[in-house]
């Protein structure tokens, strides 16, 4: 009996102790929450800006890293484009040069067909004596290629000049703008005889002197002038140029004026040498 009562008291004590412990825990939980909450708020107030700063710094670092990657990529693309532009520019210049050269060669071919009765040798100008114009110049063909002294030289639309000296692989040409050049010529429309004289001073204005027309010669501005049949060195019928002005001389016995040459002597690069000599069959 006593044993049973003792066991009943022990059970009650356990229930009381357990209940007390639960109560203590409830009280501690309530008060601990109230105590910890301000600490949490304080820490949140202090830590939040730091956390935001760290996040911003991380984002800034990431963005800068991406920008650097983009900048590097852009620089590489820019270098590639710069090289491509330089290559295209070089290619364009080359095409322009080839186009210009093709145009000149076509002009020579057209001129060659115009004087198809004569055999000709093509030549390149490799040197000139005058810094401004081609009054005298050297070509890359000589006696080895069949070139002889006094052979006529043509380019552009007509007469350039005449060969005055020949070596084995080069020759010197005196053009019709040279001060020592005198060409017996005539008006193509009526065969009126005249003389075309070289003059570097007048050629500064793009003109040559033309004179010895008779007083009553019918000559007009724009008339074509060609080499005459009475010339002892120039083959007949080669275009020299066109009359730009004509007037009666002070003696009132002859007429004279100026002529625009058929050849641009400022931009000569290639010429044709007619291999036939005047008076030689």
Domain annotation covers residue 1: no
Domain annotation covers residue 97: no
Residue-range definition of the domain harbouring residue 135 = 120-274
- Residue 236 contacts by C-beta under 8 Å, 6 or more apart in sequence? 226, 227, 228, 229
pLDDT tens figures, 117-148: 899 999 999 998 866 678 899 999 999 999 99
Q: What is the pLDDT of residue 235?
A: 95
> Mind listing the pLDDT tens digit of every residue in the chain (281 residues)?
545 555 555 666 767 676 677 667 666 665 555 555 565 566 556 556 656 665 667 677 767 777 777 777 878 877 887 877 777 777 776 766 656 566 666 776 777 788 888 999 999 999 988 666 788 999 999 999 999 999 999 998 899 999 999 999 999 999 999 999 999 999 998 999 999 999 988 988 999 999 999 988 899 999 999 999 999 999 999 999 999 999 998 888 999 999 999 999 988 889 999 999 987 66
Domain annotation covers residue 46: no
* Encoded tokens for 217: 């010669």
> Rg of the chain's alpha carbons, rounded to an integer?
52
Q: Tell me the C-alpha to C-alpha distance, in Å, between residue 171 and each of 127, 151, 266.
A: 10, 11, 20
Q: What is the pLDDT of residue 200?
A: 87
Domain annotation covers residue 48: no
Q: What is the domain-level CATH number for residue 244?
A: 2.40.10.340
Neighbours of 233 (CB within 10 A): 17
Domain annotation covers residue 224: yes
pTM here? 0.65
- State the total domains in the chain: 1
Identify whether the C-beta of residue 278 lies closer than 8 Å to the C-beta of residue 150.
yes
Domain annotation covers residue 40: no
Q: What is the pLDDT of residue 60?
A: 75
Q: What is the pLDDT of residue 111?
A: 75
């Amino acid at each position: 009996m006593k044993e049973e009562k003792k066991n009943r008291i022990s059970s009650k004590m356990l229930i009381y102790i357990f209940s007390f412990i639960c109560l203590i825990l409830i009280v501690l939980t309530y008060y601990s929450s109230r105590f910890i909450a301000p600490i949490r708020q304080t820490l949140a107030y202090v830590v939040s800006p730091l956390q935001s700063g760290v996040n911003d710094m991380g984002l800034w670092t990431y963005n800068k890293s991406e920008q650097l990657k983009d900048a590097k990529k852009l620089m590489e693309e820019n270098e590639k484009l710069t090289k491509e532009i330089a290559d295209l520019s070089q290619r364009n210049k080359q095409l322009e040069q080839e186009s210009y050269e093709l145009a000149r060669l076509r002009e020579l071919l057209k001129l060659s067909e115009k004087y198809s009765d004569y055999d000709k040798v093509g030549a390149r100008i490799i040197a000139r004596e005058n810094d401004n114009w081609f009054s005298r110049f050297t070509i890359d063909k000589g006696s080895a290629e069949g070139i002889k002294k006094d052979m006529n030289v043509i380019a552009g639309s007509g007469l350039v000049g005449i060969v005055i000296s020949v070596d084995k692989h080069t020759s010197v040409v005196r053009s019709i703008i040279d001060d020592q050049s005198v060409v017996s010529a005539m008006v193509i429309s009526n065969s009126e005889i005249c003389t075309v004289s070289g003059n570097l001073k007048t050629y500064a204005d793009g003109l040559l002197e033309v004179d010895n027309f008779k007083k009553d010669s019918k000559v007009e501005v724009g008339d074509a002038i060609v080499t005459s049949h009475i010339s002892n060195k120039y083959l007949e019928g080669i275009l020299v140029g066109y009359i730009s002005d004509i007037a009666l001389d002070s003696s009132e016995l002859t007429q004279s004026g100026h002529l625009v040459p058929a050849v641009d002597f400022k931009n000569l690069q290639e010429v044709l040498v007619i291999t036939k000599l005047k008076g030689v069959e």
